[in-house]
Amino acid sequence: MATPTYVVLLGKQGAGKGTQGELLCARHGLVHLSTGDILRAAVRAGSDLGREVSRVLEAGELVSDDLVNRLVEERLGAPDAAAGAVFDGYPRTRGQAEALDRILAPGGVGLCVLVELPDELVVARLSGRRVCEGCGTIYTLTDPSAESGVCERCGGRVVQRADDTPEAIGARLAAYERDTRPLIDFYDARGLLVAVDGDRSVEEVSASIEAALVARGLA
């Protein structure tokens, strides 16, 4: 049986991590694992962990690192995750990164990709972004669904997120620098970090990520 491949994606919101994660998963049969998706799936499934998450969310509290880590470990045990996973939005802290090392032992993360994008382009991308409230599909202002306000995939309402205003984006960029720098240093110190230029076409960024996987014998 082939060794599972585990890739962590880092980058500012709007850098294109979600798109690249989906492409990477499609090419290599990996699962796209984000904290939000795992939380929602656990609640829908009604598992013991899901009910625990529901209680925390209903109380208006933050989901603890311990609970998130347990959800990740449970998700990685599913049959469709046998080939590996792309982590997008997890880990968020050094503590979560260390927990992920323990979860994936004796192997571990094979590559951490940092998708770089200047702040001014992040503001431009996010302020022009529209999102379906139903399925989460992301559109740009020129997409027909953004213009009509109706998602072409599920028929849901397409809106601008409240945190996609320039002021909110600025606050998120500051939080990104504060919270993500330790993760960048964590993976860089282990020789796992590769930075790619996110200010290019989707295809060009994807090719750079694929080249990094090949260079490490992961593809």
Catalytic residues: 17, 92, 129, 161, 172
Question: CA-CA distances (angstroms) from residue 194 to 9, 58, 100, 211?
Answer: 10, 39, 19, 10
Is residue 113 a contact partner of residue 211, using CB atoms and an 8 Å limit? Answer: no
Place of tokens 């709007």: 14
Is residue 216 a contact partner of residue 110, using CB atoms and an 8 Å limit? Answer: yes
Task: Determine the Cα–Cα distance for residues 212 and 6; give it in Å rounded to an integer.
Answer: 13
Peptide bond into 118 cis (omega under 30): no
